[in-house]
Amino acid sequence: MSHFSYSGTGPGHERQYLSEFERVQPGQWPKWEAALAVVNRDLTATLPGQDALVLMVAPPFQPLPPNGTDRGQVYVAMPDGRWHGNSVNADDLEEGDPPEPDDATTVLTVVADAAQATVMELLRQVWPLCWQHRIGMHPRPAGTTDGWSQSETDATGPPVWWCRGGRDGKCHDVSLVGELAATLP
């Protein structure tokens, strides 16, 4: 798995074994769960026989201060609990910040990106694949161009699976995230 089994070794630190990661309980992270259900539609449409991805939560690495709000780190994982990549939730919330973004577009984009990292690394295959160009796609806001960067804040379209294009360089939006089944040959 992509997690450490202990933390805090060194002078003055006792070796502390971390509790195991657990599946997210239904309703615990509703926005992440809803977004993963959308991404899982694309997974099952494009990789028949692959079981749906799940959300796993890692407990906080340090004891919480009084009135602490850390609910752990949430990862998009294979059904057996393995994952690859970053957590979907911020690990350094400021006081008063919501644990999940309010923007559904951001939530869906982050979950699609995390799902892609997990599937590609652990299944060792490109996913999802543009059927026209036979190359991998990435989640982006609809209508972005080849030179778009994630740091840009002016792209407001819904998240799509975006293809860089073939040798002709014609990048294009393939489908909305969650709607890949409609694009299959």
What does the domain layout of the chain look like in residue ranges?
20-183
- Strand, helix or coil for residue 65: coil
Position 99 scores a pLDDT of: 64
Give the dihedral of Cα atoms 60, 22, 114, 27; nearest 10 deg.
Answer: -100
Amino acid at 147: G
Low pLDDT (below 50) residues in the chain? 1-10, 13-18
Q: What is the DSSP letter of 69?
A: -
Give the global pTM. 0.79
90-114 burial code (b ≥16 CB/10 A, e <16): eeeeeeeeebbbeeebebbbbbbbb
pLDDT of residue 169: 75
DSSP 8-class letter at 5: S
Q: Are 75 and 117 in contact (CB under 8 A)?
A: no
What pLDDT sits at residue 111?
95
